[in-house]
Amino acid sequence: MLALGGQIKAAICLTGSGQALLSHHLGELDAALGWEAFLKAIADYTALFDHRPACIACDAHPGYRTTQHAQGMGLPVVAVQHHHAHLAACLAENLWPRDAGRVAGIILDGTGYGADGTVWGGEVLLGDYDGIQRVAHLAPAPLPGGDRAARQPWRNLLMRLDQAGLADIADRWLGDFPRDPVRAAAQAGVNAPMVPRPGGCLTRWRPRWGYAGPRRASKARRRCGWRRWPRTRPRRPIRLPETGPPSTPRR
């Protein structure tokens, strides 16, 4: 099997004989250089390892370039729901046997094309490698800008705080951002799909809460200037406050 993955932070994976070979990071495929690197990686890896896939795996999103490319390769296509892939990856990483039964997984990711054709975001899934059942999810909130919110997570944070009745905190935290136009767009329903996703609220804004980890909070806050987010993904669990954001970082 040749797995093509999604549209953002792309990589490919070759599988066979009980093994999987993951490629290097290929970037974002809506950029010309990223797409060129993606096509070259497929050609180079399959040639180097003499890999002849019998089928292609891709994201279930019909608008992704990887999905469209998979459908044009002339091989059987296996479409995988985005958050099912996250659950299955966690199972594989922890060596969960295929016959060990279903597990409950909390998937707090960005948006993904749901099995019901709607946009998914924050789910509790019950499932295994072969299938999932969506048993619960976060309440939907507007996502002004659509895909742009993935690169500007303050939009999602603004909507989540407003939805929770914390507009005053949103105004204080996001004072340097154009809140009013975004709120107006969300209220009018202009390019603001309803999405149950936490997105970057938990990870990219944690320096704002003072939870960047030992000796990293002040550095991360200086780097993001309260307005941007760390360039690296978190490598440790995030401990959230019980009653609200502290005024100073914990040491």
Residue 204's pLDDT band (boundaries 50, 70, 90)?
low
Beta-strand relationship, 56-59 and 77-80? parallel
Instruction: With CA atoms as reference, report the closest residue to 154 among 138, 172, 135, 139.
Output: 172
Within 10 angstroms of residue 124's Cβ, the number of other Cβ atoms is 14
Distances (CA, A) of 223 to 169, 207, 237: 22, 10, 21
Q: Let me know if 6 is exposed, middle or buried by CB neighbors in 10 A (0-12, 13-18, 19+).
A: buried
Q: Give the per-residue pLDDT at 121.
A: 82
Please say whether the beta carbons of 39 and 72 come within 8 A.
Answer: no
Taking the model in full, what pTM does it have?
Answer: 0.71
Overall average pLDDT of the 88-114 stretch: 91
Out of 60-69, 138-147, 206-215, 228-237, the most confident range is 60-69
Please say whether the beta carbons of 98 and 128 come within 8 A.
Answer: yes
Mean residue pLDDT across the chain:
82
Residue-wise pLDDT for 38-92, tens only, equals: 999 999 999 999 999 999 999 999 999 999 999 999 999 999 999 999 999 999 9
Please say whether the beta carbons of 194 and 141 come within 8 A.
Answer: yes
Structure tokens belonging to residue 206? 């944690």
Report whether pLDDT(243) > 60.
no
Please say whether the beta carbons of 37 and 26 come within 8 A.
Answer: yes
Chain mean position to CA 8: 9
Please say whether the beta carbons of 41 and 24 come within 8 A.
Answer: yes
Q: Give the per-residue pLDDT at 246.
A: 44
Residue 3 main-chain phi, psi, to 5 deg: -100, 130
CATH numbers and ranges of domains, the chain: 2-80 (3.30.420.360), 82-137 (3.30.420.560), 141-201 (no CATH)
H-helix or E-strand spanning residue 107? strand 103-113
Please say whether the beta carbons of 172 and 157 come within 8 A.
Answer: no
C-alpha 175/C-alpha 227 separation (Å) is: 9
